[in-house]
Amino acid sequence: MKGRVRATINECFSRSDHQTFLYDEVAKRLDARLEILRLEPKVILVSGFGAHGLKKRFPSKPQLIGFDFSESRLTTRRPRVGFGFPWTAKQLSVCGDLAALPFASASVDMVYSNLDLPFFFECDELTLALKEVCRILKPGGLFIFSSLGPDTLKELRRPDAKRGFRLCEHLDMHDLGDQLMEASFADPVVEMEELTLTYGDAMSMIRDVRAHGSAAPEAHSKAGLLGTGVIRSLAEQSSGVEGGRATLTCELVFGHAWRAPTRTSPKGKKVIDIKVSKT
């Protein structure tokens, strides 16, 4: 499954007409949520895609590690190579798997994930990915993220929807909060916003749906095989703007959580909680 999802995203972002608006808009809204959080990270893992503003947000100029499981998405916006001025933020790029992070435990101050989690939920590896994020965070480190909720593309999820273009399910924000707690994060905060997207035609809409991971992998394999009936049906289901343009709703989920600081006894020894289940 994961191989097909990766191949899908690689194909989408290797095209010259790949869509970036949703990723950029969500990244801008995710950046705004950092304003209420006080931290000065030295190392930030930036997972996913989108035009973030992390370089300007932190005066300490932390090291940024761009991370993505899609080669095409990672190279679409390769960071500019400067002359190594001391006042510029350093950035590396790593292609890898969020569910098997190639970083040492407690080595990162902040993990910033933009629309990356839906892919791992579709691959049934979200729990593993969250545990890996928690593992690499330093005690007191921050995980801040955006995701998609179940009302995303609700216009295309009606009972009378045309067969031939299956959509992925997205995790409810309350369930996501529970998953964060199970992964040993502390003080999770999760909230939701709705964003309405308007497209000039059905094919632009379909390309965007594929790019942000809401179309099932088999729908991507039919990229050139969608019949006019399916396209017409999708256009009719999403039609809601004068002039025949297509409109879709995206339920955006934003949240953050912390890796709990290491607890110590009055003598400075590490405290380990042991939970005993009753049988």
Domain boundaries defined on the chain = 2-155+167-196+251-259
Confidence check: pLDDT of 187 > 70: yes
Strand 239-241 relative to strand 108-114, pairing: unpaired
Could you tell me if 253 and 152 are in contact, meaning their C-beta atoms sit under 8 angstroms apart? Answer: no
Q: CA 232, CA 214: separation in Å to the nearest integer?
A: 19
> Quick one: what percent of the chain has pLDDT higher than 90?
39
> Of the candidates 112, 69, 111, which has an alpha carbon nearest to the alpha carbon of residue 213?
69
Confidence check: pLDDT of 235 > 60: no
Q: CA 36, CA 39: separation in Å to the nearest integer?
A: 10
Provide the CB-side half-sphere exposure for 193 (13 A, CA).
11
Tally of helices (H runs) and strands (E runs) in the chain:
10, 8
Q: Give mean pLDDT, residues 227-254.
A: 66
Q: What is the pLDDT of residue 43?
A: 95
Q: What is the pLDDT of residue 146?
A: 96
Q: What is the pLDDT of residue 231?
A: 52
Kindly report which listed range (48-52, 109-113, 199-203) carries the lowest average pLDDT score.
Answer: 199-203
Q: Dihedral of CA 92/94/99/100: which sign?
A: negative
Domain 2-155+167-196+251-259 has CATH 3.40.50.150: yes
Q: Give mean pLDDT, residues 40-49.
A: 93
Give the Å distances, CA to CA, from 177 to 110, 185, 193.
18, 10, 16
Q: What is the pLDDT of residue 224?
A: 42
Could you tell me the end-to-end alpha-carbon distance of the chain, in angstroms, rounded to an integer?
37
- Structure confidence at residue 204 as a pLDDT band (50, 70, 90): confident
Q: What is the pLDDT of residue 161?
A: 53
Q: CA 279, CA 261: separation in Å to the nearest integer?
A: 31
Q: CA 71, CA 8: separation in Å to the nearest integer?
A: 11
Output the pTM of the full model.
0.81
Confidence check: pLDDT of 126 > 70: yes
Q: What is the pLDDT of residue 203?
A: 73
> What is the chain's length?
279
Q: What is the pLDDT of residue 79?
A: 44
* CA-only gyration radius of the chain, Å: 20
